[in-house]
Amino acid sequence: MIQYAGIILMLIGIYGLLTDKNVIKIIVSLNVFELGLNVFIISVGFVKDGVAPILTSVNNHSGLIFVDPLPQALVLTAIVIGLGTTALGLAFARRIYMKYGTLDLEEIGGNN
Amino acid sequence: MMNPVLLIAIPLLLAFLSIILKHYKSQLLLLGSAVNMILIFGLQKGEYIIGGFKPPFGINLVLDDYAFISILVVNGLFLVINLMSFDKIDKLGTVLLVSLAGLNGMLLTGDLFNLFVFLEITSITAYILSSVSKKYQYSFNYLVLGTLGSGLYLFGLIILYSVFGSLNMADISKQMATANLNQMLIPTFLIFVGLAVEAKILPFNGWVKGVYGNANSLVGPLFASAYAGTMLFVFGRVFVQVLMVSSYLKVTLIIIGAVTLLAGEAAALSKTRIREILLYSSIGQSGLVVALFLSGLVFPAVLQIFNNIFSKAVMFTIGGKMADDTGTDEADELQGAFLKNKLAGLSFTVAAFSLIGLPLFYGFYSKINLLLGIFSLNNFWLPVVILLGTIIEGVYFIRLLVKLWTPGEEGHISTEEYATKFTIKIELAKVIGVVFLSAILIIAGILPGMVRNNLTESGQLLNEESPSYMFDLEGGI
C-alpha cells in the first residue's frame, strides 16, 4: 500500500511544478516529488514482519526475514543529492530576487 | 597498468585542492585534464571492481572499446576547450574539475545507480556553469527540469531493481533477455524520459534555449560537446546494451527522435542569432543520434556523435567569443565578421560543412554510413527524414556563412566597409584550438579508414548484431 502513497506524493509534486509560478513554491514541489520518490524506494525493500538486516546476539540465525537494506542505502544517497539540488535552487532563487526584485517567474519572463 | 578509477578520483582530488589553493584554480584544472589525457593512454581494457565486492553486488567500472573511445574524445575536447578559453575559467576551476569527474564516471560506470549519482553530479555542475551568463531564471528552469528528469530516471531504475533484484548493467541486460518486455514498458519509458532531459530530446528540452543561447565561449562549447557527447554516449550504452526495448515502444521512441530532428532543424531555420541557430541544430542532431541508437545502428551513431561534438565545439567557441566581445550574436549585426578573422572563419566554415555532410569533410563519411545502415534495416522513412533535415541544415548554415563572410546587401559587391562595426579579437589560443579541431574534421574526412579502424570494435562490442558498415570513400570521391 505504501507504494501508492509514494506515487501520490510524486504526482502532487509534479502538479505543483506544472502549476506554480513562484520560485520557492517550485522548489517545495520538487522536494515533495523527491520525498514521494524516496518513500517509493523504501517501500520496494519492505518485507512484512521483516527485521532490520543486522546480525546480533538475539537475531543470529539465518531463518529470520530481513528487509532489503539496499533501497535504504540508495535513499540515503538520493536524499543527499536532493539536498544539494535544493540548496543550489535556493541560491538561484536568491539571485533571481536580487536581480529582478520578484520571485514570480511570469513577472520575470518579460525582461530578459 | 592504470586503474580507470583514477580518471574520476584525480579530478575530484584536485577539486578539493583547488578550494585550498584559491589562486591556482585554472592551473589545477589544466593539470587535471592533462593528467587524465595521459592516463587514458596507459589504460587497459577490462572490468574493474571497486571496493572488493564482486558484481552484481558491488560497483564495477567497465572499460570496453566503447567506453575507451568515448572517454578519449570527451577528455580530449574538455582539455582543448579549457585551453582555448583559459581566460574565462577563473573561479569555475573547481566546478569544472568536479564536472570532469562526473563525465568520466558516467562513461565508465557499469552500475545503473552509480550512473544516477554521476548524472546528478554532472547536472549540478552544469546548473552552476549555466549561471555564468547571469540569467538565473534559465539556470533555475534547467535545475527544475534536470532534477525532475533524473528523479524519473531513478523511479524507472527502482522499478527495474524491484523486478530483477540487481542494479548491475550487465546483470540486468542478461535478465532482460528472458523477461516479458511488455511489462518493462513503464521503467523503460521512465528511463528514456530521464535521459532525454539531458540529451535534449523534444518535449523535455525547454531548458536548452535559455542555457545554450546565453553561454559564453567557455561554457557553450563545453555544453555542446563534452556534456552533449557524454549524454548521448550514455544513452547509447543504456538503450543498446542494457535495456531491451519492445518493438512498439522502439518505434514510438524512434519517431520521437525523428520529430526532434525535424523540429530542431526547422526551428534553427527560423532563427537569426548565431548561438540560437547552433543550439537548435544541436537539438536536431541529438534526435538523429537517438533514432540511430534505437534502430540498433551503434557504429553510425558514434560516428555522428563525433561529427556533432567536434563541429559544435568549434562553432560555439567562435559564436560565444563574438557574443562575449560585442554583446550580441545577431547574424545581421555581425556581417562580415570573418573577413577580419579569416582563420577562425575558415574553421567555422569547415565545421559547418562537416555538420551538413559535404564530401571532403568527416561529416560525409558519417552521413553516408548512417544512411546505408538505415537502408540495410529496410527502413525507408527515416532516411527521408534525415535527408530532409540535412537540406534544411544546409540552407541555414550556408545562409549564415554567406552573411558572416560577405557583408552588404544582396546584389552588391561586398567590401569591408559594409562589414560589422564591432571589432572582434579572437585570441591566438582560440584560433589554434579551432584550427586544430577543424583540421581533425578534414583529416578524418580524407582518411576515414583511420577513424574506422579505431571505431569498428567499439560499434561491434556494444551490440554484436548491429551491422557496422565499413564504407570508406577517401575524401568522399
What pLDDT does A53 receive?
76
Question: Can you say whether residue B426 is alpha, beta or left, with left for phi > 0 and alpha for psi between -120 and 50 degrees?
Answer: beta
Q: Which residues pair with B109 in a beta bridge?
A: B61
What pLDDT does B460 receive?
53
Average pLDDT over residues A6-28: 92
Tell me how close the Cα of B267 comes to any Cα of chain A, in angstroms.
Answer: 20
Per-residue pLDDT of chain B (477 residues; tens, 9 = 90+): 678 888 899 999 999 999 898 888 888 888 999 999 998 888 888 888 887 777 778 888 888 888 888 899 999 999 999 988 888 888 888 999 999 999 999 999 988 999 999 999 999 999 999 998 888 888 999 999 999 999 999 999 999 998 888 888 888 888 888 888 888 889 999 999 999 998 888 888 888 888 888 888 889 999 999 999 999 999 998 998 888 888 888 899 999 999 999 999 999 999 888 888 999 999 999 999 999 999 888 888 888 999 999 999 999 998 888 888 887 888 788 887 788 788 888 899 999 999 998 888 888 888 888 888 888 888 888 899 999 999 999 999 998 888 888 877 767 776 666 666 677 777 888 888 888 888 888 888 887 777 776 666 554 545 444 333 334 444 444
- Cβ <8 Å between A77 and B117: yes
pLDDT digits (tens, 9 = 90+) for B106-150: 999 988 999 999 999 999 999 999 998 888 888 999 999 999 999
Is B124 within 8 Å of chain A by CB? yes
Number of domains in chain A: 1
Query: Based on C-alpha coordinates, what's the Rg of chain B?
Result: 21
| Alpha-carbon gap, residue B441 to B173, rounded angstroms | 35
| Alpha-carbon gap, residue B281 to B276, rounded angstroms | 8
pLDDT digits (tens, 9 = 90+) for B348-378: 999 999 999 888 888 888 888 888 888 888 8
Mutation target to probe the A interface, by most A beta carbons within 10 A, among B162, B163, B204 is B162
What pLDDT does B87 receive?
84
| Alpha-carbon gap, residue B237 to B168, rounded angstroms | 13
Tell me how close the Cα of A13 comes to any Cα of chain B, in angstroms.
Answer: 10
The answer to whether the bond into B407 is cis (omega within 30° of 0) is no
What are the Cα distances from residue B410, in Å, to B272, B393, B420, B466? 17, 21, 16, 49
Tell me how close the Cα of B112 comes to any Cα of chain A, in angstroms.
Answer: 12
Give phi and psi for A45, each to the nearest 5. Answer: -90, 0
In a domain, A58, yes or no: no
- Cβ <8 Å between B151 and A95: no
Domain range list for chain B: 133-476
What pLDDT does B280 receive?
92
Closest A-chain CA to B158: A41
Helix orientation angle between B342-356 and B298-326, rounded to the nearest 10 degrees: 150
In a domain, A60, yes or no: no
Examine the predicted complex and report whether its ipTM is higher than 0.90.
yes
In a domain, A7, yes or no: yes
What pLDDT does B455 receive?
64
What pLDDT does A49 receive?
78
Please list every residue in chain A whose beta carbon sits closer than 8 Å to the beta carbon of residue B148: 14, 17, 30, 33
- Cβ <8 Å between B148 and A17: yes
A78 vs B444, which has greater pLDDT? Answer: A78
Tell me how close the Cα of B75 comes to any Cα of chain A, in angstroms.
Answer: 25
Is B162 within 8 Å of chain A by CB? yes
Is B161 within 8 Å of chain A by CB? yes
Tell me how close the Cα of B258 comes to any Cα of chain A, in angstroms.
Answer: 27
Kindly state the helix (H) or strand (E) to which residue B76 belongs, with its residue range.
Answer: helix B65-84
pTM: 0.91
Q: Which of A30, A40, A95 sits opposite B147 (nearest CB)?
A: A30
Interface of A with B in 47-86 (CB under 8 A): 70-71, 74, 77-78, 81-82, 84-85
| Alpha-carbon gap, residue B67 to B434, rounded angstroms | 25
What pLDDT does B465 receive?
41
Tell me how close the Cα of A1 comes to any Cα of chain B, in angstroms.
Answer: 15
- Cβ <8 Å between A41 and B143: no
Q: Which of B137, B143, B158 sits opposite A89 (nearest CB)?
A: B143
Neighbouring residues of B253: CB distance < 8 A, sequence distance ≥ 6: B192, B245, B290, B294
CB burial of residue B451 (10 Å; 0-12, 13-18, 19+): buried
Mutation target to probe the A interface, by most A beta carbons within 10 A, among B147, B153, B166, B276 is B147
Note down the domain range covering A96. Answer: 2-50+66-109
Closest A-chain CA to B167: A70
Is B119 within 8 Å of chain A by CB? no
Is B457 within 8 Å of chain A by CB? no
What pLDDT does B453 receive?
67
Average pLDDT over residues A20-41: 93
CATH code, domain carrying A43:
1.10.287.3510
